[in-house]
Amino acid sequence: MKRGCIIAIDGPSGAGKSTVSQELARRLNYLYLDTGAMYRAAALQAKRLGVSWDDPQELARMCAKLEIDLVLKKGKPCTLLFGEDVSEAIRMPEMSMGASRVSAQQPVREKLWELQRRIGREGGIVAEGRDIGTVVFPEAECKFYLDATPEVRARRRCEELRGKGLAVDYTSTLEEVQKRDRDDQQRALAPLRPAPDAVIIDSTDLTPDEVVEVLLRVVAEAAGRLR
Ligand code: DC
């Protein structure tokens, strides 16, 4: 018996996916699956081992033994790498670029797809990433593609990093966001793009609560159709 629907939320960085996905999961009492955190943890492990983010053979060897878990600690999503809580370390700007680089490599994607599908197979999940509706769960009952202008996404990212005490400047953050968009959209493997049946939401002028309300309405309509 399935626990519930699969809700896929894709889109570029800074579109607000994490905030709204977590809130949606909380409201529906669903699991929250942050697939970006998994790519970030893989990039961190490669760095620790001195493995290049662009070397498929070395990454394949690393992935054969890779252990990543996503858990809730006091209601907060945490990422474990071989049991160690790396939730803070994977949010550093270097790991954003590292995650984007390792995510273009087949052995890394295959390893993480398997983990993600295992976590989602019972349904009752809100999964966010770049390829959830297109590749990981093409059968998802609800698919969203959340977007916003690069300027607004860069501003949100600056605020997030400054909130963590990091000194970041807007212009370089905007360049980083635009480079990552290009790399994620242009890679051969599971590129970032909306699924043909995704509902596209522009969050540029919406608050996270407003986006959640839109998502809940679409989910309720889909649930009505499935009944
Ligand atoms: O969502 P995020 O910023 O934490 O993701 C970090 C990088 O990981 C992103 O630039 C691309 C990659 N990624 C991916 O290729 N596929 C996913 N499903 C999630 C993330």
Is the Cβ atom of 39 under 6 angstroms away from ligand 1? yes
Q: Residue 92: how many CB atoms within 10 A of its CB?
A: 15
Closest ligand 1 atom to residue 103 Cα is 15
User: Any idea what the CATH number is for the domain that residue 56 is in?
Assistant: 3.40.50.300
Q: Has residue 217 been placed in a domain?
A: no
Domain hosting 111: range is 6-210
Number of domains in the chain: 1
Look at ligand 1, atom 13, and give the residue with the nearest C-alpha. 36
Is the Cβ atom of 131 under 6 angstroms away from ligand 1? yes
Using the predicted structure, report yes or no on whether residue 148 has a pLDDT greater than 60: yes
What pLDDT, on a 0 to 100 scale, did the predictor assign at position 222? Answer: 86
pLDDT digits (tens, 9 = 90+) for 77-128: 999 999 999 999 999 989 999 999 999 999 999 999 999 999 999 999 999 9
Q: How far apart, in whole angstroms, are the C-alpha atoms of residue 208 and residue 14? A: 12
Is the Cβ atom of 109 under 6 angstroms away from ligand 1? no
- pTM for this structure? 0.95
